Amino acid sequence: MFLAVGWFAVDCVIAAQAIGQLARLAGFPQGNALNGFALAVVVIVSILVAVYGHQTIAVFEKYGAFVFVAFCAVLGLTLLPKINWSLQPSLQGADHLAAWVLGTSVIFALVASWFSFASDYSRYLPRQLSDRGVAGWIAAGTAASMFLFGALGVLVASIDPNRGGDLIALISASAPLAVVVPFLLFIAVGEIWANYLDVYTAGLSALALNLRVRRWAAALAVGVLGGILAFFAMFVSNFKDQYTNFLLITYLWVPSWAAVMLVDMFVFRRRAGPPVLLRGRAVLAWLVGLAAAVPFVDSTLWQSPLAVNLLHNTDISGYVGAVTGAAVYLVVGRR
């Protein structure tokens, strides 16, 4: 539920920013009124799409990935001459390594935050598919897309490092108008359609908690909560910082949870049997892993003295949580 609401807010902000850039290119006056209107439209349309647009979303998700790859390829080619290949790092030594570790942590958190979404959609796969095939192709696709699109984002940010935190504005100012307009339109539509995944997962999470919620009710609840968070990120705080915080919070608790789940499935082989509402030893191992990870957190929400003074602002909380949670569950989880 946390991930569904969080990603709904993130998607709404990105879509609203894309619409705001389109409005700027069209000559509309900029300001909070325009941004607020764009955000309101995105939230309302996202809720309506989540309620009524299942078949449309299925088609869009099926073919939209190819369109997005094509847009990114064209964008990369048009911006290639402007990329600053000689840009030097602003950090050196241990600080440089710490920044690299933090970057990998954020990337891992981005992938990890979709773990539960993947399990929600695994029910649509044919039964005859092998576990290794499903896991292998998903891992390969995730790794390839994260590397290629992540590299593109880093290279585009090198055009103007001072504006690298707002890639949508940077792309709008650097790429030809014929590329920017359809790209921004696709981003806005794609983020709205992606919100359906958030609402769908929220509904399944409610069912897992024995809360029978209709799709419209789940869409409305996620829309209201996500809209409030999106408003806060756009107008009260800094979206880039809050987005990073969202990923780092995910990076704090998900790894230990995932480690416990993996130990349960592949070491203890508990794949079948009657459903259990709460497995106390697993929860205990997860909480111990979570507690062990807290002293290694480094985010704008809280910076631990250990991470700041000893680890050069490196956040390794996820790694610590995963190892600790798995180790504890290996000890206490045996029947």
Q: What is the pLDDT of residue 298?
A: 80
- Residue 205 Cα to chain centre, angstroms: 18
Q: Is the pTM of this model over 0.85?
A: no
Most confident of 192-201, 220-229, 276-285, 308-317: 220-229
Is the pLDDT at 97 greater than 70? The verdict is yes
In the predicted model, what is the mean pLDDT of residues 300-326? Answer: 85
- Identify the bridge partners of residue 298 per DSSP, sorted by sequence position: 303
Give the span between the Cα atoms of 46 and 25, in whole angstroms.
24
- For 147, half-sphere exposure in the C-beta direction (CA atoms, 13 angstrom radius) is 6
| Token pair recorded at residue 37 | 């209107």
Can you tell me whether residue 167 is helix, strand or coil?
helix
Average pLDDT score, the chain = 83
Q: What is the pLDDT of residue 285?
A: 94
DSSP letter for each residue of 75-138: HHHHHGGG--TTPPPS--HHHHHHHHHHHHHHHHHHHHTTHHHHHHHGGGS-TTS-HHHHHHHH
Q: In this predicted model, what pLDDT tens digit does every residue of 250-268 receive, in sequence order?
A: 878 888 988 998 898 888 8
In the predicted model, what is the mean pLDDT of residues 134-147? Answer: 84
Q: What is the pLDDT of residue 118?
A: 65
> What is the C-alpha R_g of the chain?
21
pLDDT-above-90 percentage for the chain: 19
Give the span between the Cα atoms of 317 and 295, in whole angstroms.
7
In the predicted model, what is the mean pLDDT of residues 62-83? Answer: 87
Q: Which amino acid is at 256?
A: S
DSSP letter for each residue of 262-308: HIIIIIS---SSS--S--HHHHHHHHHHHHHHGGG-BSSS-B-HIII
